[in-house]
Amino acid sequence: MFSSPLTTIVGYVILVLTALNQVFVEQGIPKDGKGWITFAVSIATGLGAVFAKDFNVSNAPNAGGTAHHVPPSN
């Protein structure tokens, strides 16, 4: 839930569209295996997007430093 707002919003949109599709297009709960699989995958995709982290987004400051050689320890 504490990820980038972009993926969280996309996840909620997927979840809402899935629910609206079930209510208005499918008109009820899925009736066969294919319907249940489609419904479950859509819900899983939405939840995955809600909890996903955007690429290269962090709360860490950009150090911008150079790499240093660390000698191996024996």
Q: Which residues contact 7 (CB under 8 A, 6 or more apart)?
A: 49, 50, 52, 53, 54
For residue 37, CA distances in Å to 2, 40, 59 come to: 28, 5, 37
Under 8 Å between Cβ of 4 and 53: yes
For residue 59, CA distances in Å to 2, 45, 63, 67 come to: 11, 25, 12, 21
pTM above 0.85, yes or no: no
**Residue with the larger pLDDT of the pair 4 and 46:** 46
**Rounded CA separation 18/72 (Å):** 54
Q: Please state the rounded mean pLDDT for residues 1-27.
A: 85
The 10s digit of each residue's pLDDT in 38-65 is 999 999 999 999 988 776 666 555 556 6
Q: Where are the domains of the chain?
A: 5-50
